[in-house]
A = this chain, B = another copy of it.
Amino acid sequence: MTKSQTLMEAYNGTAYPLIGHGKRNAQVLKEAFANVEDSLSSDMYGSGRVIERYQERMAKLLGKEAAVFFPSGTMAQQIALRIWSDEKGSKKIAYHPLSHLEIHEEDGLKELHHLEPLLLADENRPVLLRDLHGLPGDVSAVLLELPQREIGGQLPEYGELEAMSAYCRQRGIKLHLDGARLFEVLPYYGKSAAEVCALFDSVYISVYKGIGGIAGAVLAGEKSFTKQSKVWKRRHGGDLISLYPYIVAADYYMDQRLQRMEQYYRDAVELAGYYRACGALHVRPEVPVSNMFHVHSDLEKAQLESAFIRVADETGVGLCSTVREHKAGGVYFEVSMGDRYADAPKAKLEEAFRLLKECLEDETGGK
């Protein structure tokens, strides 16, 4: 048994890392292209069979008139909100305080598009109908993220979602879906992608979260919307001569993984149960509603890391690779389920959690 120095090293050295689908490496690309003919023509600046066929597949799956492949969700979502803003002639849009656009994009939405976001809801819960009641009438669009990633992947109940959709429609406010993890919430909602998307005027989905592609995103809506989005895609520098490396991979891994989303969700529920049974850890949401959840603790970062390193080194189970500190104090880590979880034998998992519990009890003095 080697003693690992850092949590990341320990995690990477385990026989049973539990998070996601596997390492992000060249094998992901090579597997996706293994059965692709050499003669498959590249897309050319948004045209060509490889991109058009995939876009048609996605439009159908999402129940929208048309879909456009983008290099990133950052680009796709800024553009969606910009189109709705221009259409209404108002810079005001609204989203959750922990939206990707607010905290991970260096304020691209403000710096490039001069949009003015209104922040909805308490940052510890998802947006609800009552948050929309206070919006001024000249808001162009509301963005809802399903599930809300930064708070562990929480969701509004489906009836609440329908009510928000109806509310926005009545008031001429466009509703945009940040569906980075849309497919991952469908088993909990018990709905098809098209059913959920029907509540929204525009929809973004990611091809490298639950689907596990290399990079890329899809933006879908009516043709008048997607047509404008292509103009903005070119303006942003996203209309690459060739996007096929991402498209072929997205197509390939969708075939494998869309059907596994139910399993990932059930696995998350199971694994969250193990964590709930440990003292000193709090799972959020308590019972997952997608393939992901967060685990919070009042322990020190170093204490939690050393517990995970010991579990990794002694049992070969990688529970977590990164512990983060909250601004407000305390620490947390994210768990998202993919193909890997199925590889870990139940007995190994139980051994790992017995040891984790023991380590945490040592740290907290058995409290």
A residues bordering B, Cβ < 8 Å? 23-30, 33, 36-42, 44, 70-76, 78, 105-108, 111-113, 208, 214-215, 231-232, 234-246, 248
Contacts and interface: CB of A to CB of B under 8 A. Distances in A.
A237 B33 contact: no
A156 B30 CA distance: 44
Contacts of A73: 237
Contacts of A42: 24-26, 28, 214
Contact of A243 (B40, B74, B215): B215
A71 B74 contact: no
Given A112-B112, A214-B42, A215-B243, A238 B71 contact: yes
23 contacts: A23-B39, A24-B41, A24-B241, A24-B242, A25-B42, A26-B33, A27-B38, A28-B42, A29-B244, A30-B36, A30-B38, A71-B71, A71-B237, A75-B236, A78-B237, A108-B235, A108-B237, A112-B113, A214-B244, A214-B245, A215-B240, A245-B245, A245-B246
Contacts of A245: 29, 214, 245-246
Contact of A25 (B27, B40, B70, B238): B40
Given A41-B24, A42-B25, A245-B245, A71 B108 contact: no
Contacts of A248: 26
A182 B128 CA distance: 54
Contacts of A241: 24, 208, 215
Most buried by B among A26, A33, A76: A26
A124 B24 CA distance: 49
B23 A41 contact: yes
The CB with the most chain B CB atoms within 10 A, among A28, A42, A248, is that of A42
B29 A237 contact: no
Contacts of A38: 25-27, 30
A342 to B, nearest CB: 21
